[in-house]
Amino acid sequence: MAGQTNAFEMAQQQFDHVAGLLRLDPQVAEILRWPMREFHFRIPVRMDDGSIRIFEGFRVQHNDARGPNKGGIRFHPAETVDTVRALAFWMTWKCATADLPLGGGKGGVIVDPATLSTSEKERLCRGYIDVMWRNLGPRIDVPAPDVGTTPQMMGWMMDEYSKLVGQYTPGVITGKPLGGGGSLGRTEATGYGVIYAVREAMRHLGMDPAKSVAAIQGFGNVAQYAAIGFTEMLGGKVVCVSYWDRDDKCSYTVSKPDGINPRFLMSITDQYGSINKAKASAEGYSIEDGSEWIGKEADVLIPAALEGQINGETVRRVHPRVRLVAEGANGPTTPEADEVFNKNGVFVIPDFLCNAGGVTVSYFESVQNDMNYYWTKEETLSRLDTKMTIAFHGVLDMSLKENTCMRDAAYMVAIDRVVKAMQLRGWV
């Protein structure tokens, strides 16, 4: 979905590299290189004007050795099955790295949700469940929101599933609205999880958060709360964010040398992450080309948009001051860029460790659904902080023990846990 990057090929390339380091049995590696199940389908939807439009959808279930598959559903006009495969693949490792009893899944529909009315989006969401419901469930595969989908959409999907199975089943979907089976803290979870990981990395690197500057790509849910966390929790400064402008069909970087106010920018941002340029300019923000975020003079880069954004070409623009890259997005750094970062001593917190906060609180939401008892936001975020901190240090310890980069170390931790689960179940 980003340029010419094939996310699944990139994911397999990363896996093959670590499988070689681990001397993993080639037969076991071949099982793990590919999804266990894939669903490709068409969803007919009655539009508001009475016409019927056909939407192409996907669901990929990579590996459920450790528990039910888990992963979001994307609504994006450039969605591809390879992107969905890659994201399901990474979700397996993400859940294993965070030591969650879940496997990896992902879904998608080729659509720009901004072009649909509310009622059309609801019919599309319900249509997705109508096609997939027999292969979903709290003990089978649990979807969640992702790019282009919202808690309200998850509420519609949960309701449709409950109707089809004949009982209220909130645990089939996570990321639901509050009051509809959702969890407090879920909205902030991924962005705050990024910041918990950044905090631990800074301690390891001896960096002072209060004297640190961050540049962020994106201004969706993850980037918004990462920006809030970096400024309010760590006391650092964020000099820019970027966003995709739906009207102009291009991306912009919104920057301020003395630091942005993320809460103000959120107040002038629509539900799809587009910032009102006029209002931002009136408050003294500079509006630059969308690629400018990567070259900012900063200590920390937080790519929190789509995959393949830091590649063999764009990595050349990274400022030499950068010491830490925290991957809020899935697959934002290609193997070519990784080589450059490793050579230059840049510390990278890999995606399926760094952005595991979302799936962790989704897991917490499922637990609360099962209990029919709900925690306070403080309880949820405290548990998230504990989980992220333990996961970070588990990967860091592996990195130091094996004298390897954090991405390879995270794969080592995750692959070991998944293979052990497969062995215990008698699969291999």
Beta bridge partners of 348: 325
CA atoms of 355 and 190, how far apart (whole Å):
6
Residue 69 · residue 61 · CB < 8 Å: yes
Distance CA 364, CA 359 (A): 9
Place of tokens 């840049």: 346
Residue 369, CB-side half-sphere exposure with 13 Å CA sphere: 27
Q: Which amino acid is at 409?
A: A
Sign of CA dihedral 264, 265, 270, 273: negative
Catalytic residue among 70, 106, 237, 296: 106
Helix axes 357-371, 81-97, angle to 10 degrees: 70
Q: At what angle do helices 221-228 and 186-205 cross, to 10 degrees?
A: 50
- Is residue 163 annotated as part of the catalytic site, yes or no? no
Distance CA(215)–CA(242), nearest Å, equals: 9
Q: What is the CA radius of gyration of the chain?
A: 20
Amino acid identity for residue 170 in this structure = P
Which residues is 186 bridged to in the sheet? none
- Residue positions annotated with a catalytic role: 106
